[in-house]
Amino acid sequence: MMTKLLHPTVTAVFSLVLSLAVGLGAAWRGIVPLLEQAAVTPVKKVPTELKRKGWDFWTIEIDNLSNELKEERERLRKESDLLDQRAARAAAEEKELGKVRADIESLRKEIADRVIEITADEQKNIRTLAQTYTNLSPRAVVAIFREMDDNTAVKILSLMKPDIVGPIFEQMSQTAGTDGTPLARRAAILSEKLRLMKASKPATPS
């Protein structure tokens, strides 16, 4: 009787074990190809650049963002170069403008040095000197002019009559200067300054 009771149980257990064995066999047949493929397929390495950045993934959005950043950086570089060029051009123009100003100032000073004018404050004294030197010999006037600056000499000569000035210049061309050379060169300089005298000067004394 015991044998009859155990028989169905043994049969059921045997059937369950057989089913598990069949299932495990089928599963193993499916897993084996996957394991073989995994063993053959190399592990995908994270790019060095991504590892350096601390990223282990890369997407289209990140790629687009990277390109935009590169384009923006290039645009800023070009703008910086353009600003540097403008600054250099402005500095060159400022330097050139300073040179022009210096040239104008030098020219103005040169003209002021060459164009002599008798001011109202010195008209009386210059006229008195011109009258005094008119009564002197050309030799004496030249001796005095040797100790006098060009502008003062020209102012005095400008108030003398031509027939008095001519002999004075002639005497200067025949007189040696302190360096031993004739004063002819200085006579030429005084003549040029006399020519550039402003027209608005006191009347020539009679």
* Residue 106 domain-assigned (yes or no): yes
**% of the chain at pLDDT higher than 70:** 63
**Which has the higher per-residue pLDDT, 132 or 60?**
132
**% of the chain at pLDDT higher than 90:** 21
Kindly indicate the confidence band of residue 2, based on its pLDDT and cuts at 50, 70 and 90.
Answer: very low
* Residue 19 domain-assigned (yes or no): no
**Contact predicate 165/135, CB 8 Å:** no
Residues 104 and 139 in one domain: no
pLDDT digits (tens, 9 = 90+) for 70-79: 899 999 999 9
Task: State which of 114, 131, 159 marks the end of a domain.
Answer: 114
Residues 135 and 105 in one domain: no
pLDDT digits (tens, 9 = 90+) for 102-153: 877 776 676 666 667 778 888 889 999 999 999 999 999 999 998 898 889 9
Kindly indicate the confidence band of residue 157, based on its pLDDT and cuts at 50, 70 and 90.
Answer: very high
Residues 108 and 139 in one domain: no
Residues 48 and 110 in one domain: yes
Residues 137 and 102 in one domain: no
Lowest mean pLDDT among 33-37, 57-61, 90-94: 33-37
Residues 75 and 94 in one domain: yes
Residues 127 and 91 in one domain: no
**Contact predicate 141/130, CB 8 Å:** no
* Residue 29 domain-assigned (yes or no): no
* Residue 14 domain-assigned (yes or no): no
Domain that holds residue 173: 123-195
Report the domain count for the chain: 2
Residues 128 and 107 in one domain: no
Task: State which of 82, 114, 146 marks the end of a domain.
Answer: 114
* Residue 21 domain-assigned (yes or no): no
pTM of model > 0.75: no
Residues 161 and 128 in one domain: yes
Residues 138 and 165 in one domain: yes
* Residue 25 domain-assigned (yes or no): no
pLDDT digits (tens, 9 = 90+) for 16-43: 666 766 666 666 666 666 666 656 555 5
Residues 152 and 177 in one domain: yes
Task: State which of 61, 89, 114 marks the end of a domain.
Answer: 114
Could you tell me the two tokens for 107? 């020219």
Q: What is the pLDDT of residue 5?
A: 44
Closest by CA position to 197, among listed 144, 106, 130, 139: 130
Residues 110 and 47 in one domain: yes
* Residue 18 domain-assigned (yes or no): no
Lowest mean pLDDT among 5-14, 60-69, 165-174, 196-205: 196-205
Q: How far is CA 103 from the centre of its chain?
A: 21
Q: What is the pLDDT of residue 193?
A: 86
